[in-house]
Structure 1
Amino acid sequence: MNLPILRLGILYYWVFLFLVVIQQAYGQSALTTTEFSRLDQRITQLMDSAHVPGLSIVLIRANKRVYSKGYGITKADSTQLVTPTTVFEAASLSKPVFAYVVLQLVEEGKLDLDKPLYEYMPYPDAAADERYQKITARLVLSHQSGFPNWRKKRESNQLSMVFSPGDRFGYSGEGFVFLQKVVEKITDKPINELMEERVLKPLGMTNSGFVWKSTFNSNYALPHNESGETETKYKPSQANMAYSLHTTAVDYSQFILALLKPTGLKKTTTEEMLRPQSQLPKRFSGSDTLAPGLFWGLGIGIEQTPTGNYFWHWGDNGAFKCYVTANSDRNDAVIYFANGSNGLDFADEILKQTIGGQHPAFGFLGIDWREEVRKQANKRAEK
């Protein structure tokens, strides 16, 4: 056989193989212009049908932000357009960001995930029930503290337990408040200052804060009820790790990228964060039946499905809704924020259009794009 021809054939083979790999990688990491256009049209239809005035979204593919866009308006009776840098309430998307900082303290040996929190700082609000002495940072972050989501009377200094710590999953903002107090105690810093120092500034989340900033005033979304009417805007003066984060879709994508890469935490710590700690019931509202493939890690939800492994969280501050899902195998993610009470109604459809896959979290949350909304959007799409 002619040696130069053989070498040329081998070269062509490797070039062909390289192009195939590149094409496959591109197919997984980016949407085409046509697909982006289709996504734009669909999101507009969904918002219109659900009476959601504004929405901001970011897509990540293979650890890169490939798309960011704002839709609609910041306030129903205004002309200010939502942009990727419009500030929204992150609601419970605050919790994973706090968990990130808690795990930094664990790495530094300042906090033990499995040491009872009362040994760092007694909590008078819960002291009437000795079971609270079993609560650890791990149990708080995986929502097994035994506390309710919120006490019956928010102004009360009495916090009752609903089950023994570690018995089962029970979503609790109260647990995060307790852990927040412990973190402030062991670091001797106000929690807002600590979050700025350890996560917002290092990750370049310059348009985010756990308290209201004057810089938000030029471009922020207002809340809207189910009819699309404007409601009063909450501007926190005190940081609460369960829900007070204000941020943008672009800023929050920086945090998600920090989990995917990972950045700011050791790889082993991030793996522990994304490891199942407790299994979720089929319904958030209450069910004794556990959901296959649905778990909670340390501060964030986990889906293990035949179509891939995902981490996720949702946010619900009433008239503000938000959602994030990331595929930890492909390093893809979608993040969106909405300024309407119905903003979660179409989360399943947005994930279908962007990240794909199966998502048992929707059953847990009771999200199944309302039939009447689906029909309205489909009618509009047919026109």
Structure 2
Amino acid sequence: MNIIFQFRPNSLLMVTLSWLALVTTQAYSQQSDLNPVQVDQFITQHMDSANVPGLSIAIIRDNKLVYSKGYGFTKAGSTQQVTSATIFDAASLSKPVFAYAVLQLVEEGVLDLDKPLYEYLPYPDVAADERYKKITARMVLSHRTGFPNWRKNRRSSELAMRWAPGERFGYSGEGFVYLQKVIEKITGLPLNDLMTKRVFIPLQMTRSSYIWNSTFDDNFAFPHNEAGKAESHYKSNQANTAYSLQTTADDYARFLIAILTPKGLKAATVSQMLTPQGQLPQTFSGNTDTLSPTLSWGLGFGLEHGPKADYFWHWGDNDTYKCYMTGCQKSQDAVVYFTNSTNGLTLIGDITRQFMGFDPTTVAFLGYKPYKKRK
């Protein structure tokens, strides 16, 4: 267990009761939503209602990690409790971390955001379709490559395009894999070595890797299906920038703080990262003829335009591991949570409302319905 509390000092020696009453009603309450007893009750209640065996959460306030704790168990029926150091599959939360490293290379002139990737590295898997030669790193990071999320046969060496590059939003892990191959070629480094050098070491993400590390063996979360039954955990030695990151809530919070600060990237680059590249459809699998008035995609993050502030976000879904994060540059707040459960993303709305103070439209976009226990 690792709990960090940080209370902001008030430089005024005296405050009026009316001012205190006003503060306690603000959406971005600095202390009331981080009362440890209340947080524990909130998390455990929602875990129980969603049949989630284990969860780890990290909360950032004013660009500082102020609350971090694990709940439940690494495996149903075991006695090993989840802690803030427990390893989880980050699933698609892998993508923003990779985008961060990619934009470092852009700043250094190693990679041109708008140069066709074909000019760096031809891609035999999709060579039959000349349209792919227009795909750029910007299109990959904003999910506008024209690729499907994954090819129908994951073992096939052939990849078919769905749309013309740049035509529309289409979430694609395949696009990130292509960009990974390009980055590995131009840097001469395997993905995990590159990420360790550029991200994990500088940000002190000591328990993070895109391939399994034997040091994780003593404290990792087993995956669980909808019914809460534990399944075997696959320990991959193949790095995939779209989904293979293994990490902790604390480590991921360090990455989010680097976005809020910013650190490792220029402020102008982070601003571009969080600038809409195109609107999203109303629903994840929906027709692009109807676009969301609040949701768009930047360079590595989803973006939500709210009535009081704008937020960046991403979700992760490796089937039996699910996770979510959202942050706000204006308030310098963020939250990230990981679960070892198929049901983990049913908590998006509740956790966001409780710890970020707004009602996310990503719930409707992603379509994760509230969990209902089987009778």
Identify whether the pair has TM-score above 0.5, normalized to the shorter chain. Answer: yes
Mark the CA change 1:15 to 1:79 in structure 2 (over 3 Å): closer, same or farther: closer
Name the CA distance, whole Å, in 1 between partners of 2:151 and 2:14: 63
Instruction: Report if the CA contact (8 A) 1:142-1:277 is conserved.
Output: yes
Partner in structure 2 of residue 113 of structure 1: 113
Partner in structure 2 of residue 89 of structure 1: 89
Name the CA distance, whole Å, in 2 between partners of 1:187 and 1:153: 30
- The one-letter code matched in structure 2 to 1:291 is S
Unmatched tracts of structure 2, length 5 or more: 1-11
**Taking structure 2 as the reference length, what is the TM-score of the superposition?**
0.91
- The one-letter code matched in structure 1 to 2:146 is G
Partner in structure 2 of residue 285 of structure 1: 285
Partner in structure 2 of residue 369 of structure 1: 370
Which structure: larger Rg? 1
Instruction: Report if the CA contact (8 A) 2:33-2:39 is conserved.
Output: no
Q: Offset at 1:32?
A: 3.3
Q: Offset at 1:234?
A: 1.6
Q: Per-residue CA shift, 1:104-127, capped at 9, x if unaligned?
A: 000000100000000000000011
Partner in structure 1 of residue 297 of structure 2: 296
Partner in structure 1 of residue 316 of structure 2: 315
Q: Offset at 1:30?
A: 2.8
Partner in structure 2 of residue 220 of structure 1: 220
Q: Secondary structure at the residue paired with 1:346?
A: helix
Instruction: Report if the CA contact (8 A) 1:29-1:61 is conserved.
Output: no
Q: What fraction of aligned residue pairs are identical, expressed as a percent?
A: 59
Name the CA distance, whole Å, in 2 between partners of 1:15 and 1:206: 41
* Between 341-350 and 27-36, the greater mean CA deviation after superposition: 27-36
Q: Secondary structure at the residue paired with 1:276?
A: coil
Instruction: Report if the CA contact (8 A) 1:114-1:137 is conserved.
Output: yes
Q: Offset at 1:24?
A: 5.8
Instruction: Report if the CA contact (8 A) 1:58-1:334 is conserved.
Output: yes
- The one-letter code matched in structure 1 to 2:265 is L
1:346 aligns with 2:347: yes
Name the CA distance, whole Å, in 1 between partners of 2:54 and 2:278: 35
Mark the CA change 1:219 to 1:34 in structure 2 (over 3 Å): closer, same or farther: closer
Instruction: Report if the CA contact (8 A) 2:349-2:359 is conserved.
Output: no
Q: Offset at 1:49?
A: 1.8
**Taking structure 1 as the reference length, what is the TM-score of the superposition?**
0.89
Q: Secondary structure at the residue paired with 1:295?
A: strand
Q: Per-residue CA shift, 1:56-102, capped at 9, x if unaligned?
A: 00110000111111110000121000001100000000000000000
* Between 231-240 and 91-100, the greater mean CA deviation after superposition: 231-240
Bigger fraction of residues in helix = 1
Name the CA distance, whole Å, in 2 between partners of 1:16 and 1:122: 67
Q: How many residues align?
A: 359
Name the CA distance, whole Å, in 1 between partners of 2:336 and 2:33: 19
- The one-letter code matched in structure 2 to 1:357 is F
Instruction: Report if the CA contact (8 A) 1:141-1:299 is conserved.
Output: yes
C-alpha RMSD over aligned residues: 2.2
Partner in structure 2 of residue 238 of structure 1: 238
Q: Offset at 1:351?
A: 1.0
Name the CA distance, whole Å, in 2 between partners of 1:177 and 1:193: 16
1:306 aligns with 2:311: no
Partner in structure 2 of residue 57 of structure 1: 57
Q: Offset at 1:369?
A: 3.0
Q: Offset at 1:16?
A: 6.0
